[in-house]
């Protein structure tokens, strides 16, 4: 099986799309989800990642996850790739992967197991069992110490392990991982736009985005600048996006837990762009009034910026 088309798409922007819920949060709105995905496709998106953390994976049932992935696959309609998020116990993950295969996903992004007690060898075995159970491409998702760089290096040599989403803000560790891994994997910066230039220098060929769901032109322009090695332009674009990304990293009003704004800020940005964002599910809450006002200010700043390459005189 050839993984080159999927790897090619992973060398760009991975749009981690939100899951739209009804006003009471009870239902997934599939028509709105399809409209949002088609808007991304029309903007030039080649890779959509449903059921990730931005998609509120842990607030969905398995049936909802499968239905979301099916809707995204149908909306992409053969354009680019769909990589579906998966996690949980080994048995739960294997069952979900089988169902994702049936609805046409191109690959899986596998989150590390969530368990009170873990062993490094056990974590590696978790990924090995998942990779052995499917012919589809597997993306390793590193979001903390649970998936070590040593395990990444070992797993990278498996044929269907196609990429690593490195979502830890540690360029030194990322550089070490790239150096250690001998397998043919695509490295994707999983902490989005703010540090895309720095991670690109160290070997990241792609990056993931949340705000790209409502400002795809700016995010795709950043990717274009990085591919061309135009780091001055890349940093100028990055700087227009920085404040909105900072807002996402904040705990939100009346809260001490990190990054609780992450998903609701994306959903509100989609509303500002004329798309459907809708509410979040518990344990998240929607943006407070002050954060909404800031989101509006930052969104207008992004929308007003110029993203075309500077014209040079002949």
- Please report the beta strands in the chain, taking only residues with DSSP state E, as ranges in sequence order: 13-15, 47-48, 81-86, 107-110, 137-142, 161-166, 186-189, 206-209
Position 142 scores a pLDDT of: 96
pLDDT at 312: 45
DSSP 295-306: HHHHHHHHHHS-
Instruction: Find out whether 141 and 127 touch, Cβ atoms under 8 Å.
Output: no
pLDDT score at 309: 73
- Name the one residue in this structure whose structure tokens are 């922007």: 13
- 3-state SS class at 115: coil
pLDDT in tens, 190-202: 999 999 999 999 9
Question: Positive or negative CA dihedral for 60, 64, 68, 70?
Answer: positive
Regions of the chain with pLDDT less than 70: 310-314
CB atoms within 10 A of CB 279: 15
- What predicted TM-score, i.e. pTM, was given to this entire model? 0.95
pLDDT for the residue 118: 94
Q: Residue 228 is encoded by which pair of tokens?
A: 């061309």
In the chain, count H helices and then E strands: 12, 8
Superfamily of domain 4-228: Aldolase class I (3.20.20.70)
Closest CA to 192 of 261, 118, 246, 150: 246
- Going from N- to C-terminal start, the domains of the chain cover 4-228
> Exposed, middle or buried, 205 (CB in 10 Å: 0-12/13-18/19+)?
buried
Residue 100: which residues within 8 A CB-CB, separation 6 or more? Answer: 66, 69, 84, 86, 108, 136
Chain centroid offset of residue 58 CA: 15
CB 268 within 8 A of CB 292: yes
Which phi-psi region, left, alpha or beta, contains residue 38 (left: φ > 0; alpha: ψ -120 to 50)? alpha
Establish whether the linkage from the previous residue to 212 is cis, with ω within 30° of 0: no
């Amino acid at each position: 099986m050839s993984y080159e088309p999927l790897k090619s798409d992973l060398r760009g922007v991975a749009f981690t799309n939100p899951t739209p819920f009804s006003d009471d949060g009870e239902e997934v709105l599939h028509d709105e989800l399809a409209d949002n995905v088609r808007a991304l496709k029309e903007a030039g998106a080649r890779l959509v990642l449903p059921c990730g953390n931005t998609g509120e994976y842990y607030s969905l049932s398995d049936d909802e996850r499968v239905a979301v992935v099916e809707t995204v696959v149908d909306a992409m309609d053969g354009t680019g790739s769909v990589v579906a998020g998966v996690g949980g116990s080994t048995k739960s993950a294997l069952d979900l992967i089988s169902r994702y295969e049936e609805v046409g996903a191109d690959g899986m992004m596998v989150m590390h197991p969530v368990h009170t007690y873990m062993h490094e060898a056990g974590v590696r075995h978790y990924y090995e069992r998942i990779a052995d159970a499917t012919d589809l491409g597997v993306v390793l998702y590193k979001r903390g110490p649970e998936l070590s760089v040593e395990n990444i290096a070992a797993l990278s040599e498996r044929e269907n392990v196609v990429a690593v989403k490195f979502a830890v803000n540690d360029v030194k560790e990322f550089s070490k991982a790239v150096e250690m891994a001998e397998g043919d994997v695509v490295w994707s910066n999983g902490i989005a736009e703010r540090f895309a230039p720095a991670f690109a220098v160290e070997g990241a060929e792609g990056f993931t985005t949340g705000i790209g769901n409502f400002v795809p032109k700016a995010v795709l322009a950043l990717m274009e600048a990085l591919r061309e090695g135009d780091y001055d332009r890349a940093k100028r674009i990055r700087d227009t996006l920085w404040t909105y990304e900072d807002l996402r990293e904040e705990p939100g009003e009346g809260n001490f837990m990190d990054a609780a704004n992450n998903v609701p800020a994306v959903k509100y940005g989609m509303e500002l762009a004329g798309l459907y964002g809708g509410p979040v599910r518990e344990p998240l809450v929607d943006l407070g009034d002050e954060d909404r006002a800031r989101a509006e200010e930052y969104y207008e700043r992004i929308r007003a910026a110029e993203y075309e390459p500077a014209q040079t005189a002949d």
